Amino acid sequence: MPRHLLLRLEAPLMAFGGEAIDNFGVIRDFPALSMITGLLANALGWRREDSARHDRLQERLVMGARIEHPGTRLQDNQNARLAKDDLGWTTWGVPEGRAGGAATYDSPHRRFRDYHADRSLLVALRLDPADELPTLDDLASALDRPARPLFIGRKPCLPSRRLFAGWQDGDDILDVLQSAPLPTGLSEGARLQWPDGEGALPGDRLIDLCDERNWTSGVHGGWRPVREGRLRLEEHPG
């Protein structure tokens, strides 16, 4: 029975980014495969330029998630007055300016960013193949002693508790999400998302998800099938 690593995502604010539209930074209910890849790579101390290592880790990653406390959503409105010669920092290393005529600087640069507030979520993952480096044990060690500070989605989203949450054996991801211990005080069931082919629930739904990143180009592309369903408390073995 394969061993799975459990990851606890809990913070005052977190962001599971979706497709950005203009100046709106939308979020999804579950973390993207690329986000968890980036989180683990950051813990390992990899640099953004290590694109081949990121791509390979993402290819090996098999993961699902269980929402235990949904929290609430909030939107942050960011405004910055930028003059003609002001430049913005970017992740790709080239300063960003503003295009257009002089009148474009009369209005502030505006962005809207959504966040999950007070959400708690459990991620179950394994690596395939399991014996290739880095191993699950390497990831667990890195999460407890990260090479750099870790964040959940966006840099202001610092975790409020230990990220590594232990181990769980299971036949597949759904089995782990169903059998992993539930937090005390949970009065309702929990929403689940897991890869297609990793188990099925009565009444679940199959969707196509675009959440893989090409770490060389820096853009997302491609689709993978995932399932979403609900774990009812009376169905939990504990």
- pLDDT tens, per residue, the chain with 238 residues: 899 999 999 999 999 977 666 666 678 999 999 999 999 999 999 998 899 999 999 999 999 999 999 999 988 888 777 776 777 666 666 777 666 666 666 777 778 888 999 999 999 999 999 999 999 999 999 999 999 999 999 888 999 999 999 999 999 999 999 999 988 766 577 999 999 999 999 999 999 999 999 888 878 877 899 999 998 765 555 5
Helix, strand, coil shares, percent, the chain, to 5? 20, 35, 45
**CATH code, domain carrying 168:** 3.30.70.2660
Confirm whether 224 is domain-assigned.
yes
Whether 199 is covered by a domain: the verdict is yes
User: What is the model's pTM?
Assistant: 0.86
Kindly state whether residue 59 falls inside one of the protein's structural domains. yes
Q: At what angle do helices 136-144 and 33-44 cross, to 10 degrees?
A: 70
The total of structural domains in the chain comes to 1
* Domain around 196: 3-18+26-70+120-235
- Asked if residue 107 is part of any domain, the answer here is no
- The candidate with the shortest Cα–Cα distance to 65, out of 232, 237, 227, is 227
The reply to whether 176 falls in a domain is: yes
CA distance 142 to 138: 6
- Answer whether residue 79 is part of any domain: no
In a domain, 112, yes or no: no
Instruction: Classify residue 166: in a domain, yes or no.
Output: yes
